[in-house]
Amino acid sequence: MEKYLSKRLQGLAESQTLAMNQKTKDLQARGLDIVNLTAGEPDFFTPAHIKAAAKAAVDANYSFYTPVDGYPELRRAVADKLRRENGLEYRPEQVVVSNGAKHALANAILSLVDEGDEVVIPAPYWVSYAELVKLAGGRPVVVRTSFEGGFKMSAAQLAAAITPRTKLLILCSPSNPTGSVYRREELAALAEVVAQHDRLFVLSDEIYEHIRFEGQHESIAQFPAVKDRVVLVNGVSKAYAMTGYRIGYLAAPLWIAKACAKLQGQLTSNASSIAQRAAIAALSGDNTPTREMVEAFRRRRDLVLRHLNDMPGVRCGTPPAAFYVFPDVSAFFGRRDGSTAIGNDADLCLYLLDKALVAGVPGSAFGEPTCIRFSYATSDELLEKAMRSMKKALSNLT
């Protein structure tokens, strides 16, 4: 009967990150001692003051529908945060609160992309961008970037990818899966190209803003020539270890924010009232717990890199942000261990799962088949264990 599914759904791929995470959890539940490095979420608990706000919200009967675009206090907290931390001026009416940053991205894409519109997506990209674009009837135009170039798209590459049909550019800085970050001058150069094209908009995914080990966060929205064509997306999932709360937001020109709220009003209504109260506490409270998490991520990144750089055949840069490493493992393609032959990234992931009991996500899920993504958002002990067994398994590939 599946042939009766809408064409839209028949063409939609499952989220590979969520699928790999679930598959690994299923294997663990069956008793396999696997170290799960697929999951893109902090392993920490939500900070105490945020949990307290959620509990207080239950007792204070925040149980009714909220405005579709979120409580005014939360939209004000977002506008205040954007001014305080990013130097960006947005009015609360320009903010729409959604069920996670993923939902905010979907709202923006469905509001801007028409049938046949082209959307420029630099690869490696996060898994959901291209699928959401296809869902909107748009055509992803993937621009491949290089290991040597830090996996970043240059202004020249952007200019070459633009056609009269290009409607949107999706940027993710800091990046999932590479952890790379666009510097201010690099964003300025991209903004200059965007400014030359009247119908070109930018969707700027900044969800890893706070998981950063050096420098300060830079948003493409800071450039006046393009600010009225940028949709900035962020949320509380990563910075405050609140993935399950499902609160994300966008800030955009008013006409886009209004369109996103209209769409959301038909699809899901408001995001959870309790989670919104918790998000107000997160955005306006003390950031010390976030800083502590970032220090732990830095320590773990260094631990993982020490091991990876000690594995012949593995090539890995030093990601300045997020909690992923994205090593190039293409040196192993064409090698074998007994009867097991490694042809590509998916084979290598399966091999590591089987022989090293380590789970990662094949780079092809992110548009870069020479690599594998490992999340290091897990304990130092488990990371040590995973890296040791990975080294051993890889050394058996000849």
Does the footprint of ligand GLU cover residue 211 (CB under 6 A)? no
The residue number whose beta carbon is nearest to ligand GLU equals 40
Across the chain, the runs of DSSP E, i.e. the strands, are 35-36, 95-98, 118-123, 139-144, 166-172, 201-205, 230-235, 248-251, 324-325, 336-337, 340-341, 358-359, 361-362, 372-375
Q: In what order do the strands lie in the sheet with 361-362?
A: 324-325, 372-375, 361-362
What, of ligand GLU, ligand PMP, none, does residue 36 touch, CB below 5 to 8 Å by kind? none
Rank residues 81 and 373 by Cβ distance to ligand GLU and give the closer one. 373
Pairing of strands 248-251, 230-235: antiparallel
Does the footprint of ligand GLU cover residue 15 (CB under 6 A)? yes
CA 12 remoteness from chain centre: 19
Contact 280, 240 (CB under 8 A): no
- Report, in Å, the least distance between residue 146 CB and ligand GLU: 22
Judged by CB under 6 A, how many residues of this single chain contact ligand GLU? 9
Q: Select the span of 13-21, 213-221, 271-279, 291-299 touching ligand GLU (CB under 6 A).
A: 13-21
What, of ligand PMP, ligand GLU, none, does residue 111 touch, CB below 5 to 8 Å by kind? none
Specify which residues 95 forms β-bridges with: 251
Residue 291: how many other CB atoms lie within 10 Å: 10
Residue 385 burial by Cβ neighbours in a 10 Å radius (0-12, 13-18, 19+): middle
Specify which residues 340 forms β-bridges with: 337
Does the footprint of ligand GLU cover residue 363 (CB under 6 A)? no
Contact 85, 217 (CB under 8 A): yes
Judged by CB under 6 A, how many residues of this single chain contact ligand PMP? 13
| Of the candidate residues 12, 18, 195, 296, the single one contacting ligand GLU (CB under 6 A) | 18
What, of ligand GLU, ligand PMP, none, does residue 172 touch, CB below 5 to 8 Å by kind? ligand PMP
| Of the candidate residues 16, 40, 275, 283, the single one contacting ligand PMP (CB under 6 A) | 40
Does the footprint of ligand PMP cover residue 22 (CB under 6 A)? no
For residues 240-259, which are near ligand PMP according to CB under 6 A? Answer: 243, 248
Contact 128, 15 (CB under 8 A): yes
Contact 300, 383 (CB under 8 A): yes
What, of ligand PMP, ligand GLU, none, does residue 101 touch, CB below 5 to 8 Å by kind? ligand PMP
Rank residues 176 and 219 by Cβ distance to ligand GLU and give the closer one. 176
- Whether the ω angle into residue 124 lies within 30 degrees of 0, i.e. cis, is yes
Q: Select the span of 76-84, 98-106, 192-200, 300-308 touching ligand PMP (CB under 6 A).
A: 98-106
| Farthest-apart Cα atoms in the chain, separation | 63
Q: Select the span of 21-29, 99-107, 305-313, 336-344 touching ligand PMP (CB under 6 A).
A: 99-107
Contact 106, 132 (CB under 8 A): yes
| Of the candidate residues 47, 70, 100, 150, the single one contacting ligand PMP (CB under 6 A) | 100
Which distant-in-sequence residues (6+ apart) come within 8 Å of 367 by Cβ?
Answer: 121, 123, 124, 125, 130, 142, 144
Specify which residues 233 forms β-bridges with: 205, 250
Does the footprint of ligand PMP cover residue 211 (CB under 6 A)? no
Length of the chain in residues, anyone?
A: 398
Does the footprint of ligand GLU cover residue 17 (CB under 6 A)? yes
For residues 138-197, which are near ligand GLU according to CB under 6 A? Answer: 176
The two structure tokens encoding residue 103: 């939902």
What, of ligand GLU, ligand PMP, none, does residue 389 touch, CB below 5 to 8 Å by kind? none
Q: How many whole angstroms separate alpha carbon 388 and alpha carbon 358?
A: 10
What, of ligand GLU, ligand PMP, none, does residue 248 touch, CB below 5 to 8 Å by kind? ligand PMP
For residues 101-120, which are near ligand PMP according to CB under 6 A? Answer: 101-102
- Report, in Å, the least distance between residue 205 CB and ligand GLU: 10
Contacts with ligand GLU, residue ranges (CB under 6 A): 15, 17-18, 40-41, 102, 127-128, 176
Contacts with ligand PMP, residue ranges (CB under 6 A): 40, 100-102, 126, 172, 176, 205, 207, 235, 237, 243, 248
